[in-house]
């Protein structure tokens, strides 16, 4: 409660209220504030305790709204005032009774699905690409390739690097393994 500076001359007199209760005809002090309306939440009536209680009891936030406006207001309130559990459903399924009027949850799920697909696609694609590129390098070939061209090149390479042609050379054996792997990779890619 705000107090006026005490005038020494009037010190004996009862304190004059800084403002009177806004209730018509009430002479008590308006010490308790209450918003004038939902559109004027920063503008207040000032009431005495008795009248602020009465005002609060009768105050209807939705006064003056039609059904559609009331519903929109409730939705807005649900979305904006409690986002922590509204949008925070990311770690579990969304309870079916919760509405999502602006599609936030849907957008969130879409974004999540898109991110997941992106992450899943990226690495295997990269691996597949590099495996094919390596195989092409082993075969010393460049696309486009037909299966026949591939097979012909394979025969040449096997002949060149066959261990039998290198006296059972370990290096040749390794090289043949690599050629076989590359051939398998390229056969999978260029089949016609
Ligand atoms: Zn009053």
Q: Hey, what are 121's tokens?
A: 């696609």
Higher pLDDT, 7 or 160: 160
Residue 191 alpha carbon to ligand 1 centre in Å: 91
Residue 29 alpha carbon to ligand 1 centre in Å: 7
Find out whether 152 and 109 touch, Cβ atoms under 8 Å.
no
Residue 3 alpha carbon to ligand 1 centre in Å: 18
Torsion angle in degrees (nearest 10) through CA of 57, 58, 62, 67: 110
pLDDT of res. 113: 63
Structure confidence by residue, pLDDT tens digits, 19-62: 899 988 888 888 888 888 777 777 888 989 888 888 877 766 66
Q: How confident is the model at residue 117 (pLDDT cuts 50, 70, 90)?
A: low
Q: What is the mean pLDDT of residues 146-158?
A: 89
Task: Please determine, for residue 131, whether its predicted confidence score (pLDDT) is greater than 80.
Answer: no
Find out whether 179 and 158 touch, Cβ atoms under 8 Å.
yes
Find out whether 102 and 87 touch, Cβ atoms under 8 Å.
no
Least confident of 7-21, 43-57, 84-98, 167-181: 84-98
Residue spans of alpha helices (H) in 59-169: 67-76, 83-86, 104-139, 147-161
Q: How far is CA 176 from CA 43, 104, 191, in A?
A: 86, 57, 22
Please give the Cα distance from 94 to 37 (Å, whole number). 34
Task: Please determine, for residue 146, whether its predicted confidence score (pLDDT) is greater than 60.
Answer: yes
Q: Are strands 44-47 and 32-35 parallel, antiparallel or unpaired?
A: antiparallel
The pTM is what? 0.34
Residue 155 alpha carbon to ligand 1 centre in Å: 104
Please give the Cα distance from 41 to 135 (Å, whole number). 72
- Which domains does the chain carry? 1-88 (no CATH), 133-192 (1.10.287.110)
DSSP result, 3-58: -PPPPGGGTTSPPPPSSB-SSTT--SB--EEEES-GGGTTSEEEE-HHHHHHHHHH
Residue 32 alpha carbon to ligand 1 centre in Å: 10
């Amino acid at each position: 409660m705000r107090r006026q500076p005490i005038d020494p001359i009037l010190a004996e007199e009862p304190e004059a209220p800084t403002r009177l209760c806004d209730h018509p005809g009430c002479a008590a002090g308006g010490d308790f504030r209450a918003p004038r309306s939902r559109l004027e939440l920063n503008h207040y009536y000032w009431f005495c305790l008795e009248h602020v209680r009465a005002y609060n009891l009768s105050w209807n936030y939705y006064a003056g709204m039609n059904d559609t406006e009331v519903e929109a207001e409730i939705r807005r309130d649900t979305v904006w005032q409690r986002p922590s559990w509204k949008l925070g459903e990311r770690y579990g399924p969304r309870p079916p009774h919760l509405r999502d009027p602006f599609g936030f949850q849907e957008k969130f799920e879409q974004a999540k699905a898109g991110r997941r697909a992106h992450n899943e696609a990226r690495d295997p694609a990269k691996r597949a690409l590099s495996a094919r590129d390596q195989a092409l390098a082993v075969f010393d070939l460049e696309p486009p390739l037909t299966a026949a061209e591939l097979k012909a090149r394979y025969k040449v390479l096997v002949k060149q690097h066959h261990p039998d042609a290198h006296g059972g050379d370990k290096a040749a054996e390794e090289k043949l393994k690599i050629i076989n792997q590359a051939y398998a990779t390229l056969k999978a890619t260029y089949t016609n």
